[in-house]
Amino acid sequence: MPENDDLKRVLDYALHGTPQLKADEKRKWLGEFRERVLMGITFQQALEDEAIRYVENALKDPMGEILIVNNRIPMKIMTKYMQLAKRMNKEYKTMATNCIEAMGVVVVNRRAINRNDVVPEIKMLPEKFRHLHHKSLCSKHFKELEETAPEYIEGYNQISFGDRMMGIKCAVCQKIEDGGPLM
């Protein structure tokens, strides 16, 4: 009987290839084991502009060695992630997968690091502050951004008296007057 088991195993390997360890897990985490993942963002999160900041912070971590991007992400967005990795001198690659649960972007280490909570909740920039022509805000909108989304305040500056004298207007107020960004 053991000969039949060996023969069956050899035939299975020949027909289906060598069995993979944790194959479902590796499909979800873009070819990596979960214990190597420092941070992963879902496919939907990866499409948002705000996600790039989270990926950048993960790549700044000394444990963040490799950036892997799901190749179903549109090229325009994928390029942003690849350029970020290149700018930070990190290895990057894309991974083809048909798995519906597959992550959009993962940052991994070559060794097991066993981090908890590797999928962050990405706090979105309020709609009124998206797609602005410039990042100068009046004191009212600057304070509003500071209260609602303080993690984004560093990218904006408050208009000073001198700025107003030079004709610089608040980007949000201007957007409201114009009826939105030009396409």
The pLDDT-based confidence of 121 (bands split at 50, 70, 90) is: confident
C-alpha R_g of the chain: 23
Q: Is the pLDDT of residue 17 over 90?
A: no
Q: Is the pLDDT of residue 112 over 60?
A: yes
Q: Is residue 10 part of a domain?
A: no
Q: Which tokens go with 38?
A: 């420092």
CATH number at residue 41: 3.30.1330.30
The pTM for the full model equals 0.71
The pLDDT-based confidence of 91 (bands split at 50, 70, 90) is: very high
Residue 21, SS3? coil
CA–CA distance from 37 to each of 103, 108, 116, 124, 150 (Å)? 11, 4, 9, 23, 27
Domain identity same for 34 and 99: yes
Other C-beta atoms within 10 Å of 98: how many? 7
Helix, strand, coil: what percent of the chain each, to 5? 45, 15, 40
pLDDT at position 181: 52
Q: Is residue 14 part of a domain?
A: no
Number of domains observed in the structure of the chain = 2
Give 151-166 pLDDT, tens digit per residue.
888 889 899 888 888 8
- Full domain range(s) for residue 60: 21-108
Domain stops at, among 77, 108, 139: 108
Q: Is the pLDDT of residue 97 over 80?
A: yes
Q: Is the pLDDT of residue 52 over 60?
A: yes
The pLDDT-based confidence of 7 (bands split at 50, 70, 90) is: confident
Average pLDDT over residues 104-118: 90
Q: Is the pLDDT of residue 168 over 80?
A: yes
Q: Is residue 79 part of a domain?
A: yes
Other C-beta atoms within 10 Å of 169: how many? 17
Of all residues in the chain, the percent with pLDDT exceeding 90 is 38
Cα four-point dihedral sign 97, 100, 101, 106: positive
Q: Which residues are CB-neighbours of 73 under 8 A, at least 6 positions away?
A: 43, 46, 47, 81, 104, 105
pLDDT at position 179: 57
Other C-beta atoms within 10 Å of 123: how many? 14
Domain identity same for 94 and 131: no
Domain identity same for 99 and 168: no
Domain identity same for 99 and 156: no
Q: Which residues are CB-neighbours of 46 under 8 A, at least 6 positions away?
A: 69, 70, 73, 77, 81, 103, 104, 105
